[in-house]
């Protein structure tokens, strides 16, 4: 998220998320550890198309990439993509779900296993937030303002800050719990 509260530019731009030369090994390790604490990924169909292929490519063809351990988790995890229009999305461990979002998420929460993580898109994340289906918010605030864009919040949401970690690249990870 930008310091002015956007998760993407007006047309979905996110080129500001990974600015060159601004990586922090501790932040990357947190990302890998967070993914390792989960076994199921939820996303909307707008994100899933290129996202699944992107991580598959890194897992298969970039063994020296610092993102390779994360990519391997993304490939191996169960991925549930919510879509009302696509009946099939290619990729390993990908399932397409078209039933009621709240019902499906509650069914998933009731199953045994590790945590569930959400990787977006914007509209999908906003839907989960509106339905109060998020148990913990991990928001990485990037040291950039873009002035205009898309947000995952569409209404007032009161949260309690549980922890905050700053990284050498200027990013701050805030963990919030819904009140």
Element (H, E) at 73: helix 68-76
State both tokens at 150: 């898309």
Q: In what order do the strands lie in the sheet with 94-97?
A: 94-97, 78-82, 38-44, 115-118
What is the arithmetic mean of pLDDT over 48-54?
A: 85
- Average pLDDT score over residue span 12-39: 89
To the nearest whole number, what is the mean pLDDT of the chain? 93
pLDDT more than 90, % of the chain: 82
Structure tokens at 126: 């906003």
pLDDT at residue 20 greater than cutoff 70: no
Which ranges of the chain would DSSP assign to H, the alpha helix? 25-36, 45-61, 68-76, 101-110, 122-130
Return d(Cα 27, Cα 34) in angstroms, integer.
11
Domain boundaries, the chain: 25-178
88-113 pLDDT per residue, tens: 888 889 999 999 999 999 999 999 99
Confidence band, pLDDT 50/70/90 cuts, at residue 19: confident
- The pLDDT-based confidence of 70 (bands split at 50, 70, 90) is very high
The dotted CATH code for 25-178 is 3.40.430.10
What is the per-residue pLDDT for 115? Answer: 97
Question: What pLDDT score does 80 carry?
Answer: 95
pLDDT band at 23 (very low <50, low <70, confident <90, very high): confident
pLDDT over 80 (residue 12): yes
């Amino acid at each position: 998220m930008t310091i002015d509260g956007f998760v993407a530019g007006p047309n979905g731009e996110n080129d500001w998320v990974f600015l060159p030369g601004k990586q922090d090994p501790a932040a990357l390790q947190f990302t890998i550890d967070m993914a390792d604490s989960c076994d199921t990924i939820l996303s909307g169909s707008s994100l899933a198309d290129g996202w699944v292929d992107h991580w598959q490519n890194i897992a298969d063809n970039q063994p020296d990439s610092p993102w390779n351990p994360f990519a391997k988790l993304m490939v191996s995890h169960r991925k549930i993509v919510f879509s009302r229009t696509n009946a099939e999305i290619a990729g390993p461990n990908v399932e397409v779900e078209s039933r009621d979002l709240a019902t499906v998420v509650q069914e998933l929460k009731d199953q045994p296993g590790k945590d569930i993580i959400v990787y977006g898109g914007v509209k999908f994340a906003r839907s989960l937030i509106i339905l109060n289906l998020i148990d913990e918010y991990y928001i990485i605030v990037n040291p950039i303002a873009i002035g205009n864009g898309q947000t995952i919040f569409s209404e007032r949401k009161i949260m309690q800050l549980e922890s905050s970690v700053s990284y050498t690249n200027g990013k701050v990870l805030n963990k919030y719990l819904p009140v």
